[in-house]
Chains A and B, each alone.
Chain A
Amino acid sequence: MSAAALDSLATIEKSPGYWSGVMRRFRRDPVAMLALAIILGLVLMAIFAPWIAPNDPYRGQMLRRLRPMGTPGFPLGTDELGRDMLTRLIYGARLSLLMGVTPVIIAFFIGSAIGIAAGYVGGWLNTVLMRTVDVFFAFPSVLLAIALSGALGAGIFNGLLSLTIVFVPPIARIAESVTTAVRKIEYVEAARASGASSFTIVRVHVLGNVIGPIFVYATGLISVSLILASGLSFLGLGVKPPEPEWGLMLNTLRNAIYVQPWVAALPGAMIFITSISFNLLSDGLRSAMDLKA
């Protein structure tokens, strides 16, 4: 038997698991792959900003303020303080991605922990945890983010904290409902009957089944978080000048729309591209995992 035949035999014998099926479907989705490529590109751009960017993001010159796109040396023009737009857009990916993605990651862990605990233990713990979650869920998300960061004051840390608090309740709710559903399935009962401890059941049987749906749901929140995070900076909460951040750039360039309208609109286009990529990626994951809601 040739090596190739052996190889193909091996692949037949190995029964493909659920996740490899998901990955296969995901890889065949051209839209999701494009979105993933754009996101990876943005992340690389953020990491290697000092090497890619042609200029210093902080140094401006009053003599060359608000130059149009295509100015020699400044392909995307300059901002209201004469700083290179291209450079600031590249550097902007750092804070914008950090402020947008971090809250969802933290909220994913906290929200999952709350939801799984509430769903698995049930009883009074469920009541206490989920009623508290309901209170925060009762605020429209934008309002809650602005209320918290408005009260706490501007700053990167306060912005991150506010956004994390906004995203814990929706994730905890999903985690709770998925866990409650899984807990009722017979194999969990069988595991308990065979003497498995609660911790083992949660780790082996519950976690593996609930983490996928929660994860997909959380990825869907990233685009909301990006828009909200930049929105906070746009309002003057969140990141403070002179840091390059897309929402803040949009804010400081607002007065320039009568002079260089399209240069002023550039940072928003970056937010848009990033947020739509995360949405398309999340949609791709959802259909690859064949989840409905």
Chain B
Amino acid sequence: MRRWRLVAPLLLGLLLGSSQAFACASCGSGGDDPLILYPNEVDKIYIGFARATAFKNVDANGRFSTSGGPTAKDTLTLAYGHGFSPRAFVTGTLPWLRNSRQEATHTSLGDPSLAARYALVMASMAEPLIPQVQILAGYKQSMTHSIHDSVDLKTQLDVFGTGFSEAKLGVDVWFGQLDWLAGAAFHLIKPLPHSYDGVRYEPGLASRSTVTAGYVFSTACKTTFGANLLARGSLRGDDVVQADSEQRNHSVFVTQDWLISPVESWRLSLSRQAAFGANKNTARSDGVSLAYLRSW
């Protein structure tokens, strides 16, 4: 009995510690939510630097065409998350952006966003084939310049956002208790209409589907990879549907996580937008990001 008193906390510690490497969510591996809290975490920060280059537009016919905007886009993302319980947490994200083209650069704060997740089904080491199931909601406030109100359209260096606030709802399913990882997430994204130059624009309802797979090499090393499929409906201008304005973007990512201490990790991600399939009215780009995460 006395021995169990000593061993039980140790086993509990191992379980909680290993959950940092095993439990996860599909989107935290390369989708749009950079920060995911594990059940045992109360506070967590994310500091990430990302660079996107090699921009090439994909036109309405799915053909590559010239992109005249910045040649590089850098993003410094700061995110903070707070867990209210092992099932529920919220995150706030604020990006700082820099657009570059030859020698010229412009910087700006990006659009801040809030997100909340609630685990309907918790993952358990005892039943590893039962996935974690989370529902999520989020909101992104459009604050920065978009192509619709740019004052430097020739270089587009002052274009940092889409120009539309967005609300989203989704579900995320994650098998994270075995060495092999797998997950899928589905988001519905509703952009809010906004008027520019007297015209009321309303981008179409969008869906983002994410599929992720991965492997845990050790409690300190995890590799995940996957694909995002973004589909957006037609743009409306003054309630008139703009012909051929639907968007499609099929992107891929690979992410490497290193746990450097029980509460700290580094994450390196590579991604390509418009990487495969039939893309439309979007842009091809290659991205690399490095992030530091710490929890309390």
Bound together: no
Q: Mark B residues whose CB is within 8 Å of A.
A: none
Q: Mark A residues whose CB is within 8 Å of B.
A: none
